[in-house]
Amino acid sequence: MRYLYVLFLLSLTTVLSSQNTNVTFRSKLTYNNQKLSNIWGYAAGGREYALVGAALGMSIVDVTNPDSPVEISQISGPNSQWREIKTYQHYAYIVSEGGSGVQIVDLTPLPAPPVTFHSYFGNGAINGTLTKAHALHVDESKGYLYLYGTNLFGGKAIVCNLNTDPYNPSYVNYVNFGSGNAGYVHDGYVDNDILYASHIYTGQFAIYNLADKNNIIQVATQPTPGLFTHNTWRNGNYLFTTDEVSNSFLTSYDISNTSNITQLDKIQSNPGSSSIVHNTYIHNDFAITSWYKDGFTIVDVSRPANMVQVGNYDTYDAGGNGFEGAWGVYPYLPSGTIVASNIRKLNTQNGELFVCTPDYVRGCYLEGKITDASNNNPLNGALIKLIATSLQENSASTGLYKMAQLQSGNFAVQVSKTGYITFNGNVALSNGVLTILNVALAPNVPLPVELVDFTATVEESDALLNWETASEHSNAGFEVQQSMDAHTWHPLGFVAAKGPSEYEFRVPGLVPGSWYFRLRQVDLDGKETFSPVRSIVIQDNKFNAVLMPNSVTDQCSLRLTSNYTSSVEVDIYDAKLQSTGLHWTLHLQETSDLPISVGQLPAGTYYVVVRTDREKMTLPFVKQ
């Protein structure tokens, strides 16, 4: 057996750290006059290996010492720009567009060569006819090999059984859906007999159930943003896709209900650069993705609807559009080492293997809801800006917004919308922590009755509504209205006007959940005006913190409820997020009410920050 060895140049020259984030360069191997394609990895006997798709065959590189990688051997194969590799048990499976069927390598002898290999050209109904494939995947949970973009069946996915003998696969069936380009599968992810196929030419992914491989069922299809679906990778109830086009996205979907697949978010490595995404893999709720000329990125996908890039390493000396740079990246080695394949160094024909150490850091999340303070209706198109950063977002039709960044710290935040008074405040962001900031924007139109205060408080399962007027003009009274969703309102009763005064109304026997209340102020001539909405939560023993009221003169009350025992830290910060010195420590078991005296504080905006070992909540209030 002949082995083709490659001259390696070990480069220890680091790339300027300003180009990279949370990734440390360790070493690089250069393949003279040989381009690289995709990459995979393998670990056994305490050693780690990069399985590199090179133009002349798969290269096996020992990367146990990331600072000193050593090539062990290269498995000769057809000269091809495309080569894909996956592993199962102690075998590597290699396919290319150049031929040789499926090369199967027994990796047992590592780290000492030689390793044995042979080619599988099909058996049974496809005996001797399988010559090439574009990509492949192994369903390790069931022991099946899936081949994509082969020379058979128009490139539809082919299924082979590995359970009897992984070194000699056995043909089972092919996924016979669609015709022509519609049936072609470019790549795919399979787990537990469910295939998530990338139909690149129709711009969609399809989900297939292969539990009965003689009766394959197409479960669902879903278009992707770039309509050129290159690869898929699943993470629990979420699927992630890439579109191999200029100005492309890494995109997330909720697939928990396959009859109603929902696109959650999409993210670019370098917005405005026209860069092209290629392959993504999910590891511990991080998406590690090759982006051609942008190298590879690390995206925190622990909140799939609010993805944030937290790391990157640029493997190529030029940027923008084009199919150069990082072809593939592999993040699953036990040590955490990442290996990446660079197609070629700029202006050469020399492929490059990069060995790096990542620092996985969670993003800082800011989410919330923007509402109209006069009626609590959600506000669409409100602009939320994190001052002194480039981070900004518009609220959706639901009033919800979500944004995230890598940097932690204290930030000024501004919420604005035409016709409303701009909100200015501050938030404290921490890595791995979701900070919720709900903002009710006040319209510029004053109420006909001047309300001094309107509060809703919880007394066991009752809601106690109190309001006070400073002045009243032609006021007939107040209709008290209640809602479960802040959209559909029901009258509870009418309180007649009695001049500038204090009013009270009790709503008894509420079931657990969120309840919303507002006042419909009615003039003597029939005209009406609505007060701001107030809400309460009747607890069902889940953790929650409610501040009552949120417009304070001397004292307010913080109600804490939880179904688990926890130590609770409570602090009050001013508008610049500077501590006021007011601090409490509670041992919470079920429900606790903490009276908070703020009479000594100057007038202004303040924040009550509640922390447990699991959660953090920020509750704003105004000191009159």
Binned at pLDDT 50, 70 and 90, residue 169 comes out as very high
The verdict on domain 364-441 having CATH code 1.10.3720.10 is: no
pLDDT of residue 159: 98
User: How many residues in total does the chain contain?
Assistant: 624
* The Cα angle at residue 226 between residues 221 and 230, in degrees rounded to 5: 70
Domain edges within the chain: 8-358, 364-441, 446-538, 540-624
Q: What is the dihedral of CA 216, 220, 225, 230, to 10 degrees?
A: -10
CA distance 182 to 180: 5
Q: What is the mean pLDDT of residues 505-514?
A: 84
Residue 492: both structure tokens together: 């509870």
Average pLDDT, the chain: 91
Least trusted range by pLDDT, from 6-15, 131-140, 183-192, 449-458: 6-15
What is the 8-class DSSP label of residue 71? E
- Please check whether the two domains, 364-441 and 446-538, share a CATH topology: yes
pLDDT of residue 477: 93
pLDDT of residue 14: 35
CATH architecture of 540-624: Sandwich (2.60)
Q: What is the mean pLDDT of residues 241-260?
A: 97
CATH architecture of 8-358: 7 Propeller (2.130)
CA distance 196 to 593: 50
Q: Is 569 exposed, middle or buried (0-12, 13-18, 19+ CB in 10 A)?
A: middle
Check if the beta carbon of residue 324 is closer than 8 Å to that of residue 393. Answer: no
pLDDT digits (tens, 9 = 90+) for 589-604: 777 888 999 989 999 9
Least trusted range by pLDDT, from 9-18, 31-40, 328-337: 9-18
Per-residue pLDDT at 543 exceeds 80: no
* Distance from chain centroid for Cα 18: 25
What is the 8-class DSSP label of residue 539? -
- Pairwise pLDDT comparison (511 vs 441), residue with the higher score: 441
Cβ partners under 8 Å of residue 196, min gap 6 = 188, 189, 190, 205, 206, 207, 232, 234, 239
Q: What is the mean pLDDT of residues 558-584?
A: 85
Per-residue pLDDT at 542 exceeds 80: no
pLDDT digits (tens, 9 = 90+) for 57-106: 999 999 999 999 999 999 999 999 999 999 999 999 999 999 899 999 99
Q: Which fold has domain 446-538?
A: Immunoglobulin-like (2.60.40)
Per-residue pLDDT at 16 exceeds 90: no
pLDDT of residue 13: 34
Binned at pLDDT 50, 70 and 90, residue 3 comes out as very low
Q: How far apart are the first and last CA of the chain?
A: 86
What is the 8-class DSSP label of residue 247? T
Q: Nearest CA to 332 among 86, 58, 83, 75? A: 86
Q: Nearest CA to 350 among 15, 17, 28, 2? A: 28
SS (H, E, C) 88-114: ECCEEEEEECCCCCEEEEECCCCCCCC
Residue 433 CB coordination number (10 Å): 16
Q: Tell me the DSSP string of 275-316.
A: -B---EEEETTEEEEE-BTT-EEEEE-SSTTS-EEEEEE--S
pLDDT of residue 277: 97
Q: The pTM is what?
A: 0.72
pLDDT of residue 470: 87
CA distance 533 to 312: 45
Q: Nearest CA to 536 among 461, 451, 624? A: 461
pLDDT of residue 15: 35
pLDDT digits (tens, 9 = 90+) for 353-412: 999 999 999 999 999 999 998 889 999 999 999 998 989 999 999 999 999 999 999 999
Per-residue pLDDT at 511 exceeds 80: no
Using a pLDDT cut of 70, give the percent of the chain over it. Answer: 95
pLDDT digits (tens, 9 = 90+) for 601-611: 999 999 999 88
524-555 burial: b if 16+ Cβ within 10 Å, else e? eeeeebbbbbbbbbbbeeebbbbbbbeebeee
Check if the beta carbon of residue 171 is closer than 8 Å to that of residue 125. Answer: yes
Per-residue pLDDT at 261 exceeds 90: yes
